[in-house]
Amino acid sequence: MGRAWLHRMKVIPSTYHQMVSYPTEDGQINLLSSHSFLTPDELELLESVLQRNKDVFAWTHSDMSGIHPSMASHWLNIIPCSRPVQQKVRRFHPDK
């Protein structure tokens, strides 16, 4: 599913829920998930294959050999001898 297809079909992808929602002619939004197309037997087979092969998935950064730590690391560019400063509260909503 490329971005062009998503825009052309006017679907809303959700990586968190692993689903795609799309509007229909009558205004309803239908949800599709990858496992909704599987029969119970196929779903059970898929789960067993994933369980048997769970050692091939990378669970930590050290499992991903070939990726340099500088690509997976983040640090803040601060001066070590500077003092922390508390900034004033910024209210964005006038009612609060």
pLDDT in tens, 23-46: 778 776 766 666 667 788 878 887
Q: What is the pLDDT of residue 79?
A: 87
Q: What is the mean pLDDT of residues 4-13?
A: 79
Residue of 26, 20, 19 lying closest to 7 (CA atoms)? 20
Residue-wise pLDDT for 43-90, tens only, equals: 888 788 888 888 888 888 777 778 777 777 888 888 889 888 999 998
Residue-wise pLDDT for 81-96, tens only, equals: 988 899 999 888 877 6
Q: What is the pLDDT of residue 92?
A: 85
Phi/psi region, residue 66 (left: phi>0; alpha: psi -120 to 50; beta: rest), is left
DSSP per-residue letters across 53-96: TGGGS--SGGGSTTS-HHHH-------TTPPP-PPPP---STT-
Q: What is the pLDDT of residue 54?
A: 86
